[in-house]
């Protein structure tokens, strides 16, 4: 039996280091959300990233409070409240970050089995997070309200948490890797993106260490590892945006400097469904291949160069050499018709 009846207190180098890491993770997340808001590309993955950000801020504040105020000087209710926040905010932030990265994958997939699998994984992760929270509530069943200064955990708590966290981390390593290997990217770019998504490996290692020290009853190390895991997962949920942004910058430096950006798949289909003659002009459908829409596969949210065919999406309009030549043919055809009509009328 383990009693979580105390937390480490006092400013030390580890606390300062964690505080700096928190600031970096928070700043990166704010830049990600601001970048998405500026481009009007906010989606559910950004919502969960925002929730994870709020939870991380709460964890950071609790860390600073515990570092400046001795727990012995707190009342029983205050001590219990701090403990409750620490116990539940940590898994809440971790699983919100995982939901964000899963929805990022769901966002860029076309309707099909892969999109269904990504959607199902979101539901499973929600069930995993709920299970962990309910198990902790059961362990703290006497704390219906913050009133007593401890929770009592058995070895089942870290075992269950480690099992579910490991399953989620394996999924977040394998699934993006499979997605990226199927993209038409050269080997260097493909492995660059896989490396960005492989942050889950570090999270998995920290989960194992967290559970091991929790079983040993070393709360100081356990809490420290918990803060590190929060920072890494918060950074991890931003890897999609950061990786694609870096890829776009690299691609632009090796092309003609196109500054186009890709809309989400869901937004693209919504635009086509709402108005058949929208700003997304693909030329005359009769003159284009039947699979033209399928060629516009926006594999990632921020990729500017979609394929070797030099097809770009720029400020709501799709332009390509094919579409450009098709538009020229349309203009010549319309001009010929107008001249013919004017001559017939005369």
Same domain for 161 and 191, yes or no, is yes
Is there a single domain that holds both residue 20 and residue 164?
yes
pLDDT for position 261:
38
**Are residues 176 and 58 part of one domain?**
yes
pLDDT of residue 285 exceeding 50: no
Q: Are residues 260 and 225 in the same domain?
A: no
The reply to whether 183 and 132 lie within a common domain is yes
Backbone angles phi, psi at 40, to 5 degrees: 55, 50
99-122 pLDDT, tens per residue? 888 887 777 677 888 788 888 888
CB 150 within 8 Å of CB 83:
yes
**Average pLDDT score over residue span 282-307:** 40
Residue 242 lies in a domain: no
Kindly report the CATH number assigned to the domain that includes residue 220. 1.20.1070
User: Do residues 144 and 277 share a domain?
Assistant: no
Residue 115 in tokens = 């999109």
Which structural domain, as residue segments, surrounds residue 315?
256-345
Same domain, 156 and 295: no
Cα(first)–Cα(last) distance of the chain, in Å?
A: 100
Report how many domains make up the chain. Answer: 2
Q: 88 and 150, same structural domain?
A: yes
96, 46 contact by CB (below 8 A): no
Q: Average per-residue pLDDT in the chain? A: 69
On whether residue 128 sits in a domain, the answer given is yes
User: Per the domain annotation, does 250 fall within a domain?
Assistant: no
Residue 226 included in any domain: yes
Same domain, 149 and 90: yes
Average pLDDT over residues 121-146: 76
Residue 224 shares a structural domain with residue 314: no
Q: Exposed, middle or buried by CB within 10 Å (0-12, 13-18, 19+), for 332?
A: exposed
Q: Give the pLDDT confidence of 177-217 residue by residue, as tens digits.
A: 777 666 666 666 666 666 667 777 888 888 888 888 888 87
> 247 in a domain, yes or no?
no
Check whether residue 22 and residue 57 sit in a common domain: yes
Does 212 lie in the same domain as 262? no
Distance CA 67, CA 9 (A): 4
Helix or strand or coil: residue 291?
A: coil
Q: Which of 193, 210, 237 represents a domain boundary (last residue)?
A: 237
Of 208, 237, 266, at which residue does a domain stop?
Answer: 237
Q: Which run of H or E residues covers position 153?
A: strand 152-153
Contact predicate 326/283, CB 8 Å = yes
- DSSP 3-state helix, strand, coil percentages of the chain (rounded to 5)? 70, 5, 25
Spatial CB neighbours of 269, under 8 Å, sequence gap ≥ 6: none
Instruction: Look at residues 169, 203, 237 and tell me which one is the last residue of a structural domain.
Output: 237
């Amino acid at each position: 039996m383990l009693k979580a009846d105390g937390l480490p207190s006092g400013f030390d180098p580890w606390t300062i280091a964690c505080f700096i890491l928190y600031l970096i993770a928070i700043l990166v997340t704010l830049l990600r959300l601001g970048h998405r808001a500026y481009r009007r590309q906010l989606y559910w993955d950004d919502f969960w990233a925002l929730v994870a950000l709020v939870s991380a801020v709460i964890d950071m504040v609790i860390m600073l409070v515990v570092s400046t105020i001795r727990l012995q000087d707190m009342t029983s209710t205050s001590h219990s409240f701090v403990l409750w926040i620490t116990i539940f905010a940590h898994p809440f932030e971790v699983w919100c970050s995982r939901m964000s990265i899963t929805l990022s994958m769901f966002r860029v997939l076309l309707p099909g089995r892969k999109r269904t699998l990504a959607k199902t994984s979101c539901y499973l992760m929600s069930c995993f997070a709920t299970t962990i929270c309910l198990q902790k509530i059961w362990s703290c069943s006497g704390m219906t309200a913050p009133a007593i200064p401890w929770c009592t955990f058995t070895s089942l708590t870290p075992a269950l948490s480690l099992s579910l966290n490991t399953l989620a981390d394996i999924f977040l390593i394998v699934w993006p890797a499979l997605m990226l290997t199927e993209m038409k990217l050269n080997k260097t770019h493909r492995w660059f993106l896989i490396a960005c998504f492989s942050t889950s490996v570090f999270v998995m290692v920290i989960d194992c260490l967290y559970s091991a020290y929790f079983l040993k009853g070393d709360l100081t190390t356990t809490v420290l590892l918990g803060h590190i895991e929060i920072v890494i997962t918060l950074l991890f949920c931003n890897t999609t945006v950061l990786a694609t942004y870096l890829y776009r910058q690299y691609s632009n430096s090796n092309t003609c400097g196109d500054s186009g950006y890709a809309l989400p798949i869901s937004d693209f289909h919504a635009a086509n469904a709402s108005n058949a003659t929208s700003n997304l002009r693909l030329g005359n459908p009769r003159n284009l291949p039947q699979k033209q829409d399928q060629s516009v596969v926006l594999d990632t949210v921020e990729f500017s160069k979609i394929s070797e065919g030099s097809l770009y999406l720029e400020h709501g309009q799709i332009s390509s050499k094919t579409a450009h030549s098709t538009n020229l043919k349309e203009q010549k055809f319309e001009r010929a018709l107008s001249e013919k009509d004017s001559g017939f009328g005369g």
